[in-house]
Structure 1
Amino acid sequence: MPTFSQLIKNPRIPKLHKIKAPLLINQPQKRAICFRIFIKNPKKPNSAKRKVANVGFIKKLSIFSFKKINVLTYIPGIGNNLQANSNVLFRGGRVKDLPGVRYHLIRGVLDFNGVKDRKNARSKYGTKKFNV
Structure 2
Amino acid sequence: RRGTCARVYTINPKKPNSALRKVARVRLTSGFEITAYIPGIGHNLQEHSVVLVRGGRVKDLPGVRYRIIRGTLDAVAVKNRQQGRSSAL
TM-score (norm: length of structure 2): 0.90
**Residue correspondence of structure 1 range 86-97 to structure 2 within 5 A:** 86-97=49-60
Hey, what does 2:61 align to over in structure 1? 98
Code of the aligned partner of 1:31: R
2:38 matched to 1:75? yes
**1:69 shift after superposition:** 1.2
Greater RCO (CA < 8 Å, at least 6 residues apart): 2
Hey, what does 1:23 align to over in structure 2? none
Aligned residue pairs: how many? 88
In 2, Cα distance between equivalents of 1:85 and 1:31? 12
In 2, Cα distance between equivalents of 1:94 and 1:100? 8
- Change beyond 3 A, Cα 1:38–1:94: same
Q: Deviations over 1:84-114 (max 9, x none)?
A: 1111001011001100000000000001101
Which protein shows a greater Rg? 1
Equivalent residue of 2:32, what SS?
Answer: strand
Tell me which of 47, 53, 62 is aligned to 2:18: 47
Q: Which has the higher helix share?
A: 1
Hey, what does 1:121 align to over in structure 2? 85
After superposing on structure 2, the runs of 4+ consecutive aligned residues of structure 1 that deviate more than 6 Å are none
Q: Which has the higher strand share?
A: 2
- Percent of aligned pairs with the same residue? 57
TM-score (norm: length of structure 1): 0.62
Q: Deviations over 1:49-101 (max 9, x none)?
A: 10000001242xxxxxxxx3110000000000001111100101100110000
